Amino acid sequence: MHNITPDHIVTLIHETSTSLNPKNKQLVETPEYDLSVLSPVTTVSAPGDPQVAKPLRVIRFSRLNLLPIELDIYDRNAELETQVLYGPYQDYNGIQYPTTIDINRPLDELRVKLTVEKLILNQPLGDNQFALRLPPEVKVQHLK
């Protein structure tokens, strides 16, 4: 993730999208916020040319619960490099987590969809889980 510095322009835009509710076949308006992180404006090629900031990433939040629903990441040429869609959220022991994560990389022609069926969070880890156990056939060489 890029570090956001004061040189980056950040904008927040309120939008709404309309979708069809599959249960009752009625249109539903979903309010959304777009948080845009733009690249710093660099020098222009010729005097009088407009200075244009390019998008680095756009994070879309649902206004209903302020959870992220989409993340767009752009390359140096302001082309969409990665788009991540977060599916419906579910409560896992008090923590909201998306049940689907759809990752699309259009420039690479690659798409991955992750489906969360079970999520166990914040399980205790014992010190023995971090102990390195070497198989008997591995020879350890100490360096001096």
- CA atoms of 13 and 57, how far apart (whole Å): 14
Provide the whole-model pTM.
0.67
- CA atoms of 134 and 17, how far apart (whole Å): 55
At 62-94, the pLDDT tens digits run 888 889 999 999 998 889 999 999 999 999 989
**Pair 99, 85: CB distance under 8 Å:** no
CA of 134: how far to CAs of 102, 131, 137, 140, in Å?
38, 10, 8, 9
At 95-133, the pLDDT tens digits run 999 999 999 999 999 999 999 999 988 889 899 888 888
For residue 57, pLDDT beyond 60:
yes
